[in-house]
Amino acid sequence: GKLDCVLSYSDDFKHRSIVYSFPDAENSNLPVFTMNYARIQVPFEVTLWVLLASFAKIGFHVYHKITFWVPESCLLISIGLMVGAIMHSVHEEPPAVLSYNVFFLFMLPPIVLESGYFIPTRPFFENVGTVLWFAVVGTLWNSIGIGMSLYAVCQIEAFEVQDINLQENMLFAAIISAVDPVAVLSVFEDVSVNEQLYIVVFGECLFNDAVTVVLYNMFNFVAEMPEVEPVDVFLGVARFFVVGLGGMGFGVIFGFVASFTTRFTSNVREIEPLFIFMYSYLAYLVAELFSISSIMAIVTCALTMKYYVEENVSQRSCTTIRHVVKMLGTISETLIFFFLGVVTITTEHEWNWGYIMFTLLLALVWRGLGVLVLTQIINPFRTIPFNFKDQFILGYGGLRGAISFALVFTLPDSIGRKKLFVTTTICMIMFTVFIQGISIRPLIEFINVRRTNRNLETINVEIHSRLIEHTIAGVEDLCGQWSHYYWKDKFLKFNNRILRKILIRDNRAESSIVALYKKLELQNAMEILDTVSGDINAGSSIVSLQYVYPLSHSSACFLSLSLSLSRSLSLACSLSLACSLSLSFSLSLLLAFSLSLSLSLSLSLSVSFCGLVTLSVSLSLCPPGCLSYTSFHIVHPSSLTHYPFNLNRSDGYLRNPEGFGLGSIYQG
């Protein structure tokens, strides 16, 4: 019989569907071909959008010279603008993906989880006070300053925005106070700016999002109130701290539960990554359930889990976790910038150039003033204060991005000037991303910001860093002055005595030097695989077994003996320091090997005379490329003055025509 096909089309945006059906007929046979687009519409379109964004990122990295000068966020927005122009020309509506639930429940968690999981742990905790100072106080400064100033601008009749009240201006100011310096951080990594500046910008971006969302929810509730009483102000301040601290508490709890769970996954390695993602997401959802800071919850959960989970799970699971977390965060952020360009063309805007220009100006002014004022307050408490160049980059690097764009689109329709707020936010994002984001690299090069070498994670550096930290903590304890070194030392003792025994599966008494060596070698191998795509010869070794020749049996035994001897002697040094007050005499002998790019042998002897003067003699024997010197150091404890005297500085190298390895050290 004849086969008829009926096409039905619904023009409703939310329920758009194309259904091919076959009418019932007496002589109709079994259909050979059918198509039901409505059934797979949502996952099909989402897959296409993700695929398009992925192809865009591939193209950026194929022509990597483009991303050297133009940030990826600018390129993604540009492609979104082109796609939006095509959709607008064919009268196609953009996908309704930026609803409140879609953004906060599906797109934001991967972004925050990635930032929390990959944050540099040691620099972050060393600068946690400065990070929270800029993230909390700086965000409040910008929100209140911009909101009050915009309310004053709204009183000018020429701008015709008198209908925007104080509550709505404060709500909008909280939205545009969210900084998202993705382009700035990418430039920081390329040019290797100093570690303090990098971690402050990174941490401010992370915790600023949490503070902004809390302010957004609070001002959104206040904007719907007919009248604000003085008691509501105090309740808002109390809620601000309850929401933030509550989110941190939930994150720590779920992080500990996830770490404890991975103790029992040795026989089911396949599901280890699943626990990490599920517990992180569960911490986020439970925080949303109780209306507390879900961003703080997932960030603290990631920080807690990373410390313990990576010692329980297998290396394959650890690699899977890192790559999946990075992939999910990158996809979510890419889609948000992509949709920003699409929505810019396809959305109906409300233009008020006076309000838009004053918003841009006030955001720049309050950001710059905030950085200057806050750094003047925090600098006296910092070991390495921020100079004027660092302050300028901090102020100039306050880009707006995904959080501001998503929050302004999730504003309720009861806000009368929502379209104006959307237009102003898009203009601010475009200005900061394209103007400030593109010009940040030339500015850093021009003003010559302090740089640092990030590839210094060697055994030698780590051992001396730990030695310095323990020494400073001991001196602070004797002087009665507590800083982060003191509290870190206390936490490490509590962690080793209690937490590690509960949360880690095999808490073996392994030498810390051996464990550190394994960690750095594994990290070096993963970095080589990531950077050179498996070409081992193309990368340089950080921990450096590249230039170490095979050892004989005697030298290998000597290496094992040296490591255990160094561990026992370091403990003896600590006991000697603790007893120096009563005995007024201490003698320490430290013998350690440094497995770095250049193997070295160091001998240190220090004698304390009656607790008044400490005489330290150090002798260093280095391979070719290093200086060998002998020096005396005299320390007077009353003034903590350090007097170094270099008695001999020569170029007497240890040379070995067969190569400098552990065997030659032993023979020497």
Within the chain, which residues score under 70 in pLDDT?
1-28, 94-98, 453-459, 507-516, 518-519, 522-523, 526-668
pLDDT, position 511: 55
* CA separation for the pair 154, 139 (Å, rounded): 22
> Which string of b and e fits 17-39 if b means at least 16 CB within 10 Å?
eeeeeeeeeeeeeeeeeeeeeee
Helix, coil or strand: residue 19: strand
Instruction: State the virtual CA torsion across 375, 378, 379, 382 in degrees, nearest 10.
Output: -140
Rg (CA), the chain: 30
- Per-residue pLDDT tens digits for 73-98: 888 898 889 988 888 888 777 666 56
φ, ψ of residue 420 in degrees (nearest 5): -65, -40
Closest CA to 498 of 486, 485, 507: 507
pLDDT in tens, 428-461: 999 999 999 899 989 998 988 888 765 556 667 7
> Cα dihedral sign for 562, 654, 628, 549?
negative
End-to-end CA distance of the chain: give it in Å, rounded. Answer: 97
Strand partners, 645: 632
List Cα–Cα distances, 423 to 111, 296, 359, in angstroms: 24, 29, 11
Long-range Cβ pairs for the range 500-507 (8 Å, 24+)? 500/308, 502/260, 503/256, 503/259, 503/260, 503/263, 503/308, 503/312, 504/259, 504/263, 504/308, 504/311, 504/312, 505/262, 505/263, 505/264, 505/266, 505/311, 505/312
Output the DSSP codes for 563-578: HHHHHHHHHHHHHHHH
CA neighbor of 218 nearest in space, from 242, 199, 187: 242
Report yes or no: 471 and 489 within 8 Å, Cβ to Cβ.
no
Round to whole Å and give the CA distance between 531 and 535: 9
Phi, psi of 621 (to 5 degrees): -115, 120
Strand ordering across the sheet containing 35-36: 6-10, 17-21, 35-36
121, containing H or E segment? helix 121-126
Write down the pTM of the prediction.
0.71
What is the rounded distance in angstroms from the CA atom of residue 202 to the CA atom of residue 120? 9
What is the average pLDDT value for the chain, to the nearest integer? 74
Separation of alpha carbons 140 and 436, rounded Å: 23
Q: Cβ(438)–Cβ(74) under 8 Å?
A: yes
The answer to whether 154 touches 161, Cβ cutoff 8 Å, is yes
HSE at residue 178, side-chain half, CA atoms within 13 A, is: 23
What's the rounded Cα separation, in Å, for the pair 261 and 265?
A: 7
Neighbouring C-alpha atoms within 13 Å toward the C-beta of 641: 6
Q: What pLDDT is stored for residue 248 in this prediction?
A: 92
Which CA distances in Å does 428 have to 82, 353, 355, 421, 569? 20, 12, 12, 10, 59
Q: Would you say 617 and 629 are in contact if contact means Cβ atoms under 8 Å apart?
A: no
Q: How many CB atoms lie within 10 A of CB 134?
A: 26
200's tokens? 């402050």
